[in-house]
Amino acid sequence: MSKITPMMQQYHDIKNQYPDAFLFFRLGDFYELFFDDAELAARELEITLTRRGKGDDAAPMCGVPYHSAENYIARLIDKGYKIAICEQVEDPQTAKGVVKREVIRVVTPGTIMEERAVTADANHYIAALSGMDHDRLAYVRTDLTTGETDGGIIGSEVTDIEKALLADGLREVIFPREELPSDWEKWLKTAAFTISYEENEDMPDAYLHLYDGSDPSVRAAFGRMLHYLARTQKRSLAHLQPLATIEPREFLQMDVHTRRNLELTASLRERKKKGSLYHLLDDTKTAMGSRMLHRFLERPLANKREVERRQTLVHQLVDDMLTRAQLQDQLKNVYDLERLAGRVAYGNVNARELVQLRTSLQQVPEIVDTLPALGDEGVRLTEDVDVCEALRERLEAALVDDPPIAIREGGMIRRGFHEELDEYREASENGKTWLSNLEHQEREATGIKNLKVGYNRVFGYYIEISKAQLPHAPDHFERKQTLTNAERFITPDLKEMENRILEAEEKMEQLEFDLFKSVREETNAYIPRLQQLAQMIAYVDCLQSFAQVSEERRFTRPRFSEQRTMSLVNSRHPVVETTLERGAYVANDVHMDDKREQLLITGPNMAGKSTYMRQIAIISVMAQIGCFVPADEATLPLFDKIFTRIGAADDLVSGQSTFMVEMLETEHALKEATANSLLLLDEIGRGTSTYDGMALARSIVEYIHGHIGAKTLFSTHYHELTVLEEELETLWNVHVRAEEEAGEVIFLHKVEEGRADKSYGIHVAQLAHLPDTVIERARALLDEYENVPQENGIAHDEQLPLFTYEEEKKTTRSVKKETPEDAEVAKQIRDMDILNITPLEAMQAIGNWQKQLRSKT
C-alpha cells in the first residue's frame, strides 16, 4: 500500500464507509468501479474489466458513462444490489490536489426513484422492523416514490410477518443488527428482498408529526426507517406521508399462500398480472388508481360500513353511465400525481413533469364538479379536497406548453412571466433579426449573391464568402477561417452583436433555471395537498373501474348477512369464465348458513371442485373490496379471515415435503380460524397413505365442525367421508355432477346436493392419453375390486374397496402372492422418513425398488 496514489486513498476511505454497496466513483465522464466491485459488476453487467495502474498494484477496474448510468443502476438494483453514487463535489479546474468527492446518495432496491426502475401500476416498498426480542413485532412500510407509509403491530412468527409484509413489491427490509430468531434466518435465506441494517431507532425531531400514535415499537420501527432513508438518500423526505396505522381486525386476513392460491394479484404459475383478479378488475385510467386497486386486493376490508360506502358509489356509477363516462374522460388526463409529488420533494422533477402536474390540476375542478352527481357519498369525496387553484395558476403562468426535459438550457418559461427574462429574450431576438437582415444588406452592398451569415461554436458568428467571390470582399471584413471552398470573415459590428446575443442567452438560461427552481420550490409547499388529491382521484378511479367491469360482466351487488348466511344464485368464477367461450361457464348456486356450515364436495377429477371452492373465496374477496360479484344474486357473510389449502405448486421450492406443508398450513388454519372465517380445504390428506389420509381428513372435519364452526368447503376423493353427513349436524354433502355416455365421461360442472355416485379416474387417465394397455388393465382391476364381496358392513359405493385397507390386503393376495422381494421393498418403504428426504432422493429410492422388483421376474 506504500505507493498508493492520493486518489486511490480517497477511494478506499469512501469505499470503507459503504462496504455493502457498489461504489460508483465519478472520474470525469465515467463512474468507475474498482477491485471486487469491478469484478462483480463486470460479470453482472457484462462490461469489460480493465486495470488501473501497473504491476502488482494494478487495480481491477470497470466503468460506465455517467450519462447512461441510470440504465446500469436499474439493472443492478433489479438483481438486489445497492449502489453508492460518489460525485466530484468541486470544480476539477480550480481544485487543489485531488478533487473532493462525496457519496451523494445510496440507491437501494427499496429506495430507487428513477422512472425506468419503477413499475407504474405497482407500489415498491421498503419496510423496517422493530421489537424482535418481544413476542410482538412492529413494522413500518413505505413507498418512497409516493411517500405512502403504513405500519402496525403483528405477532413475531414468520407467518405473521409474511401476512403483514409480503405483499408484491416488497423490495427491501431494514433490520437491527442483532440476533434474529433461528426460523427467521432460514426464512431470510429464501427471501426475495434485499436485507439492510440500521441501528438507530430514535424518531428524528423533524419527522415527529408523521406519527401520532403512541406505540413505542411502531415509533422505533419508523425511527429506524427514517434514519436509514436519511443516511442513504441524503436529501429532503418532505413527501413522506403520516403513518397510517394498520389494525388487522379492520381487514380480511389472508396468508401468503391463500393470496397466491386465489390468484388475487398475480397468476399462480407465471406470477404475472395477466390471469389474476387484479387484471380482470383493472379498468382504471390512472396509475394511481391501478396501484390503489392492487392495495385493495391485498387488504380487503372487514369493516362493513367502509365496504358499503364503496358499494354505494359503485352502484351509482353502474346506474349512471353518463357520469361514469364523464369521469373516465376526465381521469384520462390526470397524470401520476403521487409520484410527481415525490419527484418534486426529491428535487429531480423537470419542467415537462410540472406541466403534467398542471394538466392534472386543470382536470381536477371538473372531477370535483362531476362527483356530486353520485349523491351524498360523491359529495363527501369532494369535501376537504383542495383543488390547488393557486398552484395551477402559477404553473399556467410560468411554464410553456411543451418544455424540454433539460432544465438548464432554457425554453421552459412563458413570455410575460418575468420582465427581466423577457428583456433578455427580446435582446436575443432583436440580435437574431439584425443578423438575418445583415445577410440581406451585405449581399446588396457587396453584390455577392451566395454570401451567408452563419454560426459555429469556435468562432461564433461569421460571414462566409465562396472562394470565387473573394475579390469582391470589402476591406472591413476581417479574415477568420479558411475552408476548402470558402473563406469566413467577421466585422466589428458582427462581433458586438454576437456578444450581446450570447450574453443575453447566457443570462436567459441562468434566469430560466432560477425561475424554474423557484416554481419548483413553490410546488413543494403543496405536496401534502397534492397527495390528498391523488388519494381521492385514485379512489374514484378504482371505483369507476369496478363499476365498468361489473356492468360489462354482469356482476351484481352483494348484500351482507348479519346471520352469516351465504347465498349465491348462479355464481361464476370471474377469471375462469373469461378463459372459456361465452356462455360455456356453468353457473352454480351456493347455500350455507348456521345449519349448513360445512360442505363436503365429491366428484370426479377435473369436474370443477377446486374451481367451485376458489370461486366462493374470490367472490367473498370481491365483495369485501367493495366490488360487485359474478352472480345473479348474492348474500354473503362479512368474513374475518380466509384460509385455503389448495394445490401444491409452490411447495417443492421450499424444500419441505408436500405433505408436511399441507399439515403446517392446516395447523395454521385450525389455530387461527374463527366462526366468521372461510376455510377451503382441497383434498386434505391425499399426500399420505389412504388409511392415514382418510383418518386425518375425517378428524379435521370433525374438529372444524365441533370447535370452530367456520364456513368450510372440503373436497375429497375419499367417498367414505360422505357418511359424516349423518353424524355431523351442520355438514352436508354436495357433488359436482358428471355423466357417462357410451363409455365417455361428460363433465357437467354442475354442483348438486348429495354425494357423488362414482369416480371417473380411469376416464380422466384416458383423456390424458395413457397407453391403451394401461387403461384396459386398470379397468380389469377395477372390475375385480368392485366385485369383491363386502364384509365389514360400512355403507359405501362401488369405488370403496380401492380405499379400504382390509380389502386391499385381500385383493392384493388374490392377484399375486407376496415374494421376499416384495417384503423387503415394503419394509424399506415403511422405514423411510419421508419428511427428511429430498424429491431427488425419493426418485432414487423408487428407482431402486423398481430394480429390486423387476429383478425377480
Ligand X SMILES: Nc1ncnc2c1ncn2[C@@H]1O[C@H](COP(=O)(O)OP(=O)(O)OP(=O)(O)O)[C@@H](O)[C@H]1O
Binding-site sequence positions for ATP: 603-610
CA 279 to mean position of chain CA atoms? 12
x/- map, 517-556, ligand X, by CB under 6 A: ----------------------------------------
Q: Which residue is nearest to ligand X (CB)?
A: 608
Please pick, from the candidates 606, 636, 679, 697, the single residue that binds ligand X as defined by CB under 6 A.
606
Residues of this chain, 50-69, that bind ligand X according to CB under 6 A: none
Q: Which one of the spans 421-429, 606-614, 687-695, 718-726 is the region binding ligand X (CB under 6 A)?
A: 606-614
Q: Which is nearer to ligand X, 192 or 584 (CB)?
A: 584
Q: Which one of the spans 222-230, 346-354, 598-606, 809-817 is the region binding ligand X (CB under 6 A)?
A: 598-606
Known binding residues: 603-610
Q: Which is nearer to ligand X, 536 or 629 (CB)?
A: 629
What 3-state class would DSSP assign to 39? helix
Strands 731-741 and 559-560: unpaired
b/e burial code for range 183-208 (CB count within 10 A of at least 16 → b): ebeebeeeeebbebebeebebeeebe
Phi, psi angles (nearest 5°) of residue 365: -55, -35
CB atoms within 10 A of CB 450: 11
CB of 330 to ligand X, least distance (A): 39
Render 261-325 in DSSP notation, one character per residue. Answer: HTTSSS-TTT--STTSHHHHH---SSHHHHHHHHHHHHS-B--HHHHHHHHHHHHHHHH-HHHHH
Q: Which is nearer to ligand X, 130 or 759 (CB)?
A: 759
Q: Which is nearer to ligand X, 382 or 605 (CB)?
A: 605
Q: Which is nearer to ligand X, 511 or 748 (CB)?
A: 748
CB atoms within 10 A of CB 656: 14
Please pick, from the candidates 45, 132, 387, 576, the single residue that binds ligand X as defined by CB under 6 A.
576
Render 746-759 in DSSP notation, one character per residue. Answer: EEEEEEEES--S--
Nearest to 490, CA basis, from 521, 518, 458: 458
Please pick, from the candidates 194, 261, 556, 611, the single residue that binds ligand X as defined by CB under 6 A.
611
Nearest to 523, CA basis, from 386, 361, 341: 341
CB of 244 to ligand X, least distance (A): 38
CB of 658 to ligand X, least distance (A): 14
CB of 586 to ligand X, least distance (A): 4
CB of 577 to ligand X, least distance (A): 8
122 forms part of the interface with ligand X (CB under 6 A): no
Q: Which is nearer to ligand X, 501 or 586 (CB)?
A: 586
Q: Is 455 exposed, middle or buried (0-12, 13-18, 19+ CB in 10 A)?
A: exposed
CB of 801 to ligand X, least distance (A): 20
Q: Which one of the spans 454-462, 609-617, 721-729, 738-746 is the region binding ligand X (CB under 6 A)?
A: 609-617
CB of 576 to ligand X, least distance (A): 6
Cα distance between residue 829 and residue 6, in whole Å: 69
For the chain, the helix, strand and coil percentages under 3-state DSSP, each to the nearest 5: 50, 20, 35
CB of 24 to ligand X, least distance (A): 50
Strands 253-254 and 633-636: unpaired
Q: Which is nearer to ligand X, 438 or 586 (CB)?
A: 586
Nearest to 603, CA basis, from 580, 621, 583, 586: 586
718 forms part of the interface with ligand X (CB under 6 A): no
x/- map, 181-210, ligand X, by CB under 6 A: ------------------------------
608 forms part of the interface with ligand X (CB under 6 A): yes
Q: Which one of the spans 12-20, 116-124, 581-589, 803-811 is the region binding ligand X (CB under 6 A)?
A: 581-589
Please pick, from the candidates 605, 656, 688, 852, the single residue that binds ligand X as defined by CB under 6 A.
605
CB of 725 to ligand X, least distance (A): 20
Please pick, from the candidates 239, 310, 488, 609, the single residue that binds ligand X as defined by CB under 6 A.
609
275 forms part of the interface with ligand X (CB under 6 A): no
Judged by CB under 6 A, the number of residues near ligand X is 14
Residue carrying the nine cell digits 351442520? 730
Q: Which is nearer to ligand X, 227 or 755 (CB)?
A: 755
Q: Which is nearer to ligand X, 464 or 662 (CB)?
A: 662
Give the 3-state secondary structure of 350-375. CHHHHHHHHHHHHHHHHHHHHHHHHC
Q: Which one of the spans 177-185, 342-350, 603-611, 800-808 is the region binding ligand X (CB under 6 A)?
A: 603-611
Q: Which is nearer to ligand X, 350 or 658 (CB)?
A: 658
HSE (CB half, 13 Å, CA atoms) of 400? 12
258 forms part of the interface with ligand X (CB under 6 A): no
Cα distance between residue 533 and residue 385, in whole Å: 6
Q: Which is nearer to ligand X, 226 or 618 (CB)?
A: 618
Q: Which is nearer to ligand X, 640 or 682 (CB)?
A: 682
Partners of 31 in the β-ladder:
26, 64
Strands 170-175 and 194-197: parallel
Please pick, from the candidates 586, 619, 679, 708, the single residue that binds ligand X as defined by CB under 6 A.
586
Q: Which one of the spans 222-230, 580-588, 788-796, 836-844 is the region binding ligand X (CB under 6 A)?
A: 580-588
Cα distance between residue 589 and residue 659, in whole Å: 32
**Secondary structure element (H or E) that encloses residue 69, with its range:** helix 69-78
Q: Which one of the spans 143-151, 303-311, 451-459, 582-590 is the region binding ligand X (CB under 6 A)?
A: 582-590
Cα distance between residue 741 and residue 743, in whole Å: 5
Residues of this chain, 732-791, that bind ligand X according to CB under 6 A: 749
Cα distance between residue 490 and residue 466, in whole Å: 15
Cα distance between residue 50 and residue 59, in whole Å: 8
585 forms part of the interface with ligand X (CB under 6 A): yes
Integer-rounded Cα Rg, in Å, for the chain is 36
607 forms part of the interface with ligand X (CB under 6 A): yes
Which residues make Cβ contacts (< 8 Å) with residue 560, sequence separation at least 6?
Answer: 304, 307, 308, 623, 635, 636, 637, 638
Binding site for ligand X (CB under 6 A): 576, 580, 584-586, 603, 605-611, 749
